[in-house]
Structure 1
């Protein structure tokens, strides 16, 4: 069988600058996992268009990292705004090689107590936002015959979580959308994968923990690591909660040429918490 027309003839050695010369769009880049993804991509030589609904957060990110980061405010629920931003970026910064969806929200509630607004808002960001970014970026990547698209979802997309029905459902929808997208554009040289984090030490995680202060946070983290039978939740076999950088490193690998033969993949980065059920 002849090699894929878009693949290099020989694997490239890992040089630490795997993404040199490439332009990446990252949503939800202002803090947490999104910020860590920006840092990881920069470390591999990429230029990054960092976007977030909070303009101040991405502006501060750009100031910290200099000319290789361009910051823009973006609400991924606004399809017209996403399309306008991508069109502007391709005109002023160059063709997008990478798109990473990190923007997400969580509304924690028992399923029967979810409001219409909770449900709609969760899907607007976590699912519709992924669709909007994909439609604008992957269409252009496919026309050029190259590109990589990653959705940062959650291990809740693959295993039930009490109090997280809207979040889990929205992330599961985003995962399956990304896989279907990947199937459709694989022959045109575009790879589409998902990264599914488990509990990660971000503001979203801390918001789930009652109480405040280091002692309360340590106790809450210990419950997550050890598991909670009453909540039908296994612990984390590796014995630690992820840092945002753990998730970012997985993303940086998937968008690099080291992962050139990986698409439609769902990479769980959760310390074994779901037992890959």
Structure 2
């Protein structure tokens, strides 16, 4: 059960949709929203993991198993949330996949699935929620992308390209809906201690190597000297989703401990 908080973030009473909610950054965003007093529709393809996560977080979390790359499934979820929970005030797209490998070794299926989830999934979620926010002239949308969208990474061509597309998509939507009072922003994490990050590790020294950097891969380390916790990313998401960021839209916030030197 997520303990309540007395901090006033302006998100209490809001209905929020979070994709990729079963674990990692998505689960941390859900937990943060619950602490802020929001009701959360948690979306993930992993129905069992989603149910377990929802059970731990309490009655404010409602699980909606769905694959974000399935536009019809996303539309059904958004319809159900609006019907059963209320008008969506916050949408956070976190769902993502990583299939590492050089571009020359990337298969058509790897490429297609990466873009289906990381780009098309974001497009469908943004579109379905924004369509409902526009007539109400209110709402905030946040996409969790990656610092790889702005800096080349070896072995991550498909992932980086998909996140770059999702980033620009979100910013373009922000321009289109700004006149309706809707804000759209991007949070771009660096290395974060999640199951996805750990898939890249082979031994107990890999975290230290990420922090130190890898000259042979043309990759600088993390100046702050630590791997991010999912909560570090969630805090940035909650800020951008809250009224505290009421005059911020179409922005991309890097949360990577300085790893990209904001190149």
TM-score range, shorter chain: over 0.9
Contact 2:9–2:244 at 8 Å: present in 1 too? Answer: no
Q: CA separation in 2, counterparts of 1:98 and 1:123?
A: 24
Query: SS state of the match for residue 184, structure 2?
Result: strand
What does residue 158 of structure 2 align with?
A: 166
Deviations along 1:134-166, one digit per CA (max 9) or x if unpaired, are 111011111100000000000000000000000
Q: Does 1:258 align with 2:244?
A: yes
What does residue 57 of structure 1 align with?
A: 49
What does residue 75 of structure 2 align with?
A: 83
Contact 2:119–2:162 at 8 Å: present in 1 too? Answer: yes
Query: SS state of the match for residue 56, structure 2?
Result: helix
Alignment of 1:70-109 (within 5 A): 70-109=62-101
Alignment of 1:183-222 (within 5 A): 183-210=175-202, 216-217=203-204, 219-222=205-208
Q: CA separation in 1, counterparts of 2:104 and 2:210?
A: 24
What does residue 259 of structure 2 align with?
A: 273
Q: List gaps (5 residues or longer) in structure 2.
A: 1-5
Q: CA separation in 2, counterparts of 1:67 and 1:221?
A: 36
Q: Does 1:235 align with 2:221?
A: yes
User: How far apart are residue 16 of structure 1 and its match?
Assistant: 2.9
Contact 1:201–1:241 at 8 Å: present in 2 too? Answer: yes
What does residue 3 of structure 2 align with?
A: none
Q: CA separation in 2, counterparts of 1:93 and 1:115?
A: 41
State the TM-score, normalizing by the size of structure 2.
0.97
User: How far apart are residue 187 of structure 1 and its match?
Assistant: 0.6
User: How far apart are residue 269 of structure 1 and its match?
Assistant: 0.1
Q: List gaps (5 residues or longer) in structure 1.
A: 1-13, 211-215
Contact 2:25–2:94 at 8 Å: present in 1 too? Answer: yes
Query: SS state of the match for residue 153, structure 2?
Result: coil
Q: Which runs of 4+ in 1 moved over 6 A?
A: none
Contact 1:16–1:43 at 8 Å: present in 2 too? Answer: no
